[in-house]
Amino acid sequence: MNAYSGKNAVITGGGSGIGFATAKLLVDAGARVVITGRSQATLDAARQRLGTNATAVRGDVSSLGDLDVLAARVRDELGTVDALFVNAGITSAMPFESMTEEVYDQSFAINVKGAFFTVQKLAPLLSTGAGVVLTTSVANVMGMLETSVYAAGKAALRSMARSLSRELLPRGVRVNAISPGPVDTGILESSMPQEAAERFKAARVAENPMRRFGTPEEIARAVAFLAFDATYTTGAELVVDGGVTQL
């Protein structure tokens, strides 16, 4: 039951959805976890549910200053890090004709720059044998409507999993990507009107070979595998999508 006893993990975007499910899985299996996010209320609620083996540090991954604060807190709380789940992200679903510079810049600032500098700032704390997992998306290989900016950012992360793997290999650190298909976490509703989100979700279910969304817990199990158990795997992408990009 305590498979991850003595292990330390950091999860960006760990207060909700896939990040929270991963934090819960790891804490339940004995790990100590630091979670981050921008909303203090979300972090407080998550911390309450996770218990004393979890620490919440408020911060915005698109701010390098906040990432410095996170790294300092992680060093104080955990010392070293065995699993770094670079998961914070936003969707910015919008037809390409209506895309604005502001939304484009915010999407890349959080999903791409934020992920890159999260790894850079926390790298000094990674232990030998540590696993870094970047959350990309099946959107990185699909031409879905209204996802051009989001998908391009996620494709950048898929690429970074390869190049950062090469750079961190001499330190014995593995870097892999998790590529979820549709998971009903509320992320869509936070970035588009309810009606559009419902339409988008119905289309995802209809096209999926399993005719359903995945659960955050199904993604969390794959993340834990990549972070801790996939000791001969680096630079890879694990697709967890009900088969939508495979069948």
Ligand X SMILES: NC(=O)c1ccc[n+]([C@@H]2O[C@H](COP(=O)([O-])OP(=O)(O)OC[C@H]3O[C@@H](n4cnc5c(N)ncnc54)[C@H](OP(=O)(O)O)[C@@H]3O)[C@@H](O)[C@H]2O)c1
Sequence-ordered alpha helix ranges (H) in 133-243: 148-168, 194-207, 216-224
Choose between 30 and 109: whose C-beta lies nearer to ligand X. 109
Beta carbon of residue 82, minimum distance to ligand X (angstroms, whole number): 21
CA distances from 211 to 136, 141, 181 (A): 21, 20, 12
* Active-site residue flag, 150: yes
Choose between 90 and 164: whose C-beta lies nearer to ligand X. 90
**Sheet containing 81-86: order of strands:** 54-58, 32-37, 8-12, 81-86, 126-135, 174-180, 237-240
Is 80 in a helix, a strand, or coil? coil
- On whether the CB atoms of residues 192 and 203 are closer than 8 A, the answer is no
Beta carbon of residue 39, minimum distance to ligand X (angstroms, whole number): 3
Structural tokens at position 9: 């993990």
Choose between 131 and 182: whose C-beta lies nearer to ligand X. 182
How far apart, in whole angstroms, are the C-alpha atoms of residue 56 and residue 36? 6
Kindly list the residues in this chain that would bind ligand X in the complex (CB under 6 A): 12-13, 15-19, 36-39, 42, 60-62, 87-90, 110, 114, 135, 137, 180, 182-183, 185-187, 190
Choose between 131 and 180: whose C-beta lies nearer to ligand X. 180
DSSP letters along 45-92, please?
Answer: HHHHHH-TTEEEEE--TT-HHHHHHHHHHHHHHTSSEEEEEE------
Of the residues 4, 104, 150, 232, which is catalytic? Answer: 150
Beta carbon of residue 86, minimum distance to ligand X (angstroms, whole number): 9
Beta carbon of residue 110, minimum distance to ligand X (angstroms, whole number): 4
Catalytic residues: 150
